[in-house]
Structure 1
Amino acid sequence: MRVVVADDAVLIRSGLVRLLEEFDFEVLAAVGDGEALVKAIATHRPDVSIVDVRMPPSFTDEGLRAAVEARSQVPGSPVMILSQYVEVSYADDLLADARGAVGYLLKDRVADVEEFLDGLRRVASGGTVFDPQVVAQLMVRRRRDDPLASLTPREREVLGLMAEGKSNPAIGRELVVTDGAVEKHVRSIFNKLGLHADDGDQHRRVLAVLTYLRS
């Protein structure tokens, strides 16, 4: 898998590069600012990019803004935000693209390397992977006309776990229910959100998660 890494901290950037290469990922570029990130994505068209939120010059939200700009130049380019901070303003712009291929994990909550790499693969394949704390802060911005109003509390719980990138079997283990029960909830979520079978299950899953995160 071909990867671009963007983080202004040299030690973290170098550490990510070494980690990825150890697991046979190909690092195409490792950069330290937003402008270089946009250029790297436009030039290399990576399978996925790992992007920090706060980069030079103001160390506020340059990484997110650069990711949004890069996806406008290379539509649907997969991006995994990896940061210490939750910045919701430009996260909304990332989520506005219904193609998915977006993740947002918090550095200090990544406890397992294999889970992190699995998350990268999910995003690269068009899925979504969000830390529960990121989801919680996005939910604070819930709109008055909530498209999820028709969902039951259990369906919202299932959809929240889908937003974390969990598969149906993993959701079943988390909620201590059968795979069949999870599938029933997922089908109901799709129906209530108006997501039709001809869209394909993977695409419907991404659309449902994006609706949840934007609502």
Structure 2
Amino acid sequence: MAVGTWRRRVLVVEDHALMRSLVADAFAQRGFEISTAPSAVEALRLVDSADPDLLVTDIDLGSRPNGVELATILRERAPHIAVMFLSNLSREAAAAQARDTVEGASFVNKGAIGSVAELVDAAEAVLADRPVEHLSGASGAQGALLRLSPAQRETTRLLAAGLTNAEIARRRGVSVRAVEKSVERVFQALGLTGDDGIAPRVAAATLYTATFGDPEAGL
């Protein structure tokens, strides 16, 4: 697989079936891998297998947990999941509901978007928010590392710090299988197959450390 060809994953949570379908189709057409759920309860059942880079959720889901509560739970499991809230509330009112709860979340007013394509554009902007601007022009494996989602990059950091899949699973509060799938996607994104005689885990750790420095900082 070519470096950087892995598909970003989005979990769409919306209790209105038509809106859920429209949003999911728009993301799929843009190349995202999609999982959908009509409620927070169903989303929580899916999240280990979905392993999303981005959560797109209405705030009012018609039942509890609501979208803010769902995002809070997911952030506790995987702090680097990007979050976009859909709402009929104004941006200010929606933000007030989630203030000090879901850091860095984006808010989109349903009535203000002209098409679902605009929603995907907004999501692209959320996912493009990178903390390593000085390296944004990198190419090859390093460029692929910088293009990983925050969640994928955190997985790579934990690998580089020497954590096993089981230890990463305990830290993130997800299943070992979910971590295994996430690690596989990281290796695919970085073009690490082991064909050159170097174990992908070792190669990913070396690449992370060369790019970002000590992976154990903050552990």
Q: Please, what TM-score do these two structures have when normalized by structure 1?
A: 0.49
Q: Please, what TM-score do these two structures have when normalized by structure 2?
A: 0.49
Q: Which structure has more RCO (C-alpha within 8 Å, separation ≥ 6)?
A: 2
